[in-house]
Amino acid sequence: MSDTSSTLAELDERIAILEDNLRDLVEQAAAYSGGNDEERSSERIAEQQQELDALKKQRDALL
Q: How many CA atoms lie within 13 A of 62 on its CB side?
A: 17
In this predicted structure, what is the pLDDT of residue 1?
57
| Per-residue model confidence as pLDDT tens for the chain (63 residues) | 578 888 999 999 999 999 999 999 998 888 876 667 788 888 999 999 999 999 999 999 998
- The pTM assigned to this predicted structure is 0.81
**15 near 52, Cβ under 8 Å?**
yes
Residue 2 has what pLDDT?
74
C-alpha dihedral, 44 to 48 to 49 to 50, nearest 10°: 100
Residue 2, helix vs strand vs coil: coil
